[in-house]
Amino acid sequence: MSKITVTFKDGTEKTFKDDRRGGSYVNSVKYEGMFAIVQDVWGNKYCYPATDIREIHIPSNGGHW
């Protein structure tokens, strides 16, 4: 994944950019129970309650590596 944007119900957004050079560092998102957990390219994890989220946008890489 290159970029993940979490849009909250109050209209604010949090964007996780893929801005780390080299290697296979990527952003990722997983869902556990009522939480969305985003891990950035540096390994930091952010947990957001699903009740606060309007949408999570993960753009397609267009089939390219």
Do 31 and 4 meet the contact criterion of CB atoms below 8 Å apart? no
Does residue 1 have a pLDDT over 60? no
For residues 10-32, one letter each, b for 16 or more C-beta atoms within 10 angstroms of the residue's C-beta and e for the rest, the string is eeeeeebeeeeeeeeeebebeee
Please state, in angstroms and rounded to a whole number, the distance separating the CA atoms of residues 1 and 9.
23
- Element housing 21 (H / E): none
Token pair for 10: 């109050």
50: helix, coil or strand?
helix
Higher-pLDDT residue of 1, 5: 5
Domain assignments of the chain as residue spans, ordered by start: 4-57
pTM of the model: 0.83
Higher-pLDDT residue of 6, 24: 6
pLDDT tens-digit map of 11-61: 999 999 987 777 677 899 999 999 999 999 999 999 999 999 999 999 886
